Amino acid sequence: MRKINFFDTTLRDGEQSAGVNLNSQEKMEIAKQLERLGVDIMEAGFPASSKLDFLSVQNIAREVRNCSVTGLARSMKSDIDAAWEALKEGEEPRLHVFIATSPIHRLHKLKKTPEQVIQTAVDSVKYAADFFPIIQWSAEDACRTEWTFLAEIIEKVINAGARVINLPDTVGYNHPKEYGEMFSYMRENVPNIDKVILSAHCHDDLGMAVANSLSAIEHGAGQIEGTINGIGERAGNAALEEAAVALNIRSEYYKASSSLNLNEIKRTSDLVSRLTGMVIPGNKAIVGKNAFAHESGIHQDGVLKEKTTYEIISPELVGVSSNSLVLGKHSGRHAFRNKLEALGYLLTEDEFHRSFQSFKDLSEKKKEFTDEDLTAIVMEEKLSNGEAAYELRSLQVQFGTDNITTATVSMTDREKKVLHEAATGAGSVEAIYNTLERCIGTEIHLKDYRIQSNRSGRDAFAQVYVKIDFNGVESSGRGLAQDVLEASAKAYVNAVNRVLLFDQQQEPKASVSI
């Protein structure tokens, strides 16, 4: 079995997804979960892109000790300096430096000759080698680069000190056979190739990112890169959880393995989905809600007789528990703590206290709490940090098919002053948001609104995700409640609070071109 390194770029390439905007606390939460998942390398961001990204990479490098933390840099001294400053306190500082190599990029983006591209790449790797123990070099748009040119530049950057060579399919253009053959060609034609690990980085524009990554493994890649749930620019990146489970289930074919803790996959996937607001399609492989559901009579019959008739992956393998009923109204602190421990949550005392309080409040209206309910509560509390500028006190909505919908809200502001307002709207959510806008006294634009239930069943929690524009700052918010309208109000208030509480942190997304 060859061990394949898993390089996660959820916090860099994944965060480049349209509409995703994570704050530093959320990035840290994802980083810690990626550490538990057991990724070998974590790309925490692009330090030169903004002050915020720099600080977030620095905090993650300081905190995460069980995997190598890396950051992206263009082939320029200032980017490499920023990356070193951000990463130097990490357990194993690693630079990810890149330059575009394809004729399209050389001509139109870089406006450099092939010789100038080689010189820039070599100079940047040599410069970085004075600081970094490990340098990964990437040929952006490798798949649309002449293989002879690619082989030449790779040989030179290896001589300059690169230890990992990454060949990205930046635009998701290749099919698996072609992509694999590129790896074989480089292995056969670059004289010093045995000094490095080859890495695959695939985008999903034609829906082949995971297949291409697996093909690269078959052709000698020792590392693959991707994101959780496959999030990323345009159609996204290779979904790491899919590649890891494929290696596990088809180990006899690939003769390769990862060191991921597969039973952390579901938790990681849920966290990333919740924080990015990118909903996982029900039919998504491995983590979709239907991935293990057997609907047709023939399949159900088969599975009841023998699971393996229609089930190649057991849900438990990836951390999907089949255990449902757990706690109820009368469960105390002790049972609550035991259950959270069994679910694998590590909470601070403060987080535990807030989660328990929220469980108690919710149990006034709800009889039974499943694992999914408890997970939703804990995630909500972990991420709220217990801080709020505005707090919703009460909400009342009057709706009738023949009446004008009216909402009445009572909330407190930063100074704990109580605010009361009422407003109408064409529907209940609009009436609530018009009322909250009045309370807050600033024009707020709703840019996105999504509602989901946390599981099936009538008594499931409503989870609402919103994106707003508040004072010119884009912010997202989440709300969890038994009632959809309450969850909608909470999500809106949460989005406003995130602007106010992380005020000093708000910055537009990195505008540097890469």
- CB 362, min distance to Zn ion, A: 41
Q: Which among ligand KIV, Zn ion, none contacts residue 514 (Cβ within 5 to 8 A by kind)?
A: ligand KIV
Tell me the sheet residues that pair with 229. Answer: none
Separation CA 477–CA 17 (nearest Å): 17
Q: Could you give the CA distance from residue 254 to residue 256 in angstroms, rounded to a whole number?
A: 5
Instruction: Pick one of 5, 10, 13, 54: the residue that binds ligand KIV (CB under 6 A).
Output: 13
Task: Output the residue with the shortest Cβ distance to Zn ion.
Answer: 13
**Under 8 Å between Cβ of 316 and 322:** yes
Least distance (Å) between residue 278 CB and ligand KIV: 18
| 338: helix, strand or coil | helix
Give least dist CB 9 to Zn ion, A.
7
Looking at beta carbons, which pairs linking 286-289 to residues 24 or more positions away fall under 8 Å?
Answer: 286/239, 286/241, 286/242, 286/245, 286/313, 286/318, 287/229, 287/241, 287/318
Site string for ligand KIV, 426-445 (x = CB under 6 A): --------------------
* Residue closer to Zn ion, measured from CB, 13 or 204: 13
For ligand KIV, give the closer residue by CB, 209 or 244. Answer: 209
> One symbol per residue from 176 to 215: x for binding ligand KIV (CB under 6 A), - otherwise; what is it?
-------------------------x-x------------
Q: Which one of the spans 7-15, 69-77, 108-116, 494-502 is the region binding Zn ion (CB under 5 A)? A: 7-15
Q: Which is nearer to Zn ion, 13 or 372 (CB)?
A: 13
Strand order in the sheet with 391-398: 391-398, 405-412, 418-425
> Contact 121/93 with Cβ under 8 angstroms?
no
Residue 111 tokens, joined:
């406006």
Q: Choosing among ligand KIV, Zn ion, none, which partner's interface includes residue 140 (Cβ < 5 to 8 Å by kind)? A: ligand KIV
Q: How far is the CB of 483 from Zn ion (least distance, A)?
A: 41
Min CB(138)–ligand KIV separation in Å: 4
Q: Which of 25, 56, 102, 170 binds ligand KIV (CB under 6 A)?
A: 170
Q: What angle do CA 324, 329, 330 make, to 5 degrees?
A: 105
Q: Which is nearer to Zn ion, 13 or 35 (CB)?
A: 13
225 lines the binding site for Zn ion (CB under 5 A): no
Q: Which does 138 bind (CB under 5 to 8 A by kind): Zn ion, ligand KIV, none?
A: ligand KIV
CB of 148 to Zn ion, least distance (A): 24
Q: Identify the H or E element spanning 274.
A: helix 265-276
**Which of 6, 7, 98, 470 contacts ligand KIV by CB under 6 A?**
98
Q: Tell me if 514 contacts ligand KIV by CB under 6 A.
A: yes
Number of C-beta neighbours around residue 510 at 10 A = 17
3-state class of 409 per DSSP? strand
| Pair of tokens at residue 112 | 């450099």
Q: Report what 98 binds from ligand KIV, Zn ion, none; CB cut-off 5-8 Å by kind.
A: ligand KIV
Residue 99 near residue 157 (C-beta atoms within 8 A)? no
At 280, list the tokens. 């996982």
- Stretch of residues binding Zn ion (CB under 5 A), selected from 10-18, 113-121, 302-310, 499-507: 10-18
Binding mask 127-156 for ligand KIV (x = CB under 6 A): -----------x-x----------------
Closest CA to 273 of 3, 8, 5, 10: 10
Structure tokens at 10: 């959820």
Whether the CA torsion 33, 4, 320, 453 is positive or negative: it is positive
For residue 241, the partner it binds in Zn ion, ligand KIV, none, with Cβ less than 5 to 8 A by kind, is none
Contact partner at residue 319 from Zn ion, ligand KIV, none, CB < 5 to 8 Å by partner kind: none
Q: How many residues bind Zn ion (CB under 5 A)?
A: 1
User: What is the closest distance, in whole angstroms, from the C-beta atom of residue 136 to Zn ion in the complex?
Assistant: 13
CA-CA distance, 99 to 74, in Å (whole number)? 7
Q: How far is CA 122 from CA 75, 113, 155, 159, 169, in A?
A: 9, 14, 10, 8, 21
Residue 461 interacting partner from Zn ion, ligand KIV, none (CB closer than 5 to 8 Å by kind): none
Single out the segment in contact with Zn ion by CB under 5 A; choices: 5-13, 70-78, 208-216, 292-300: 5-13
Residues touching ligand KIV, count (CB under 6 A): 9
Six-digit token string for 434: 């018009």
Does 43 bind ligand KIV (CB under 6 A)? Our answer is: no
We find the least distance from the C-beta atom of residue 240 to Zn ion, in angstroms, to be 13
Window 11-40: residues binding Zn ion (CB under 5 A): 13
Least distance to ligand KIV from the beta carbon of 78, Å? 17
Instruction: Specify the DSSP class assigned to residue 237.
Output: B
Torsions phi, psi of 408, nearest 5? -125, 130
Nearer to ligand KIV, 1 or 18 (CB): 18
**What distance in Å separates the CA atoms of residue 225 and residue 40, rounded to the nearest whole number?**
10
Runs of H (alpha helix) within 14-132: 24-37, 51-63, 77-87, 103-104, 114-129
Task: Please report, as ranges, the residues that interact with ligand KIV according to CB under 6 A.
Answer: 13, 98, 138, 140, 168, 170, 201, 203, 514
Task: Please report, as ranges, the residues that interact with Zn ion according to CB under 5 A.
Answer: 13
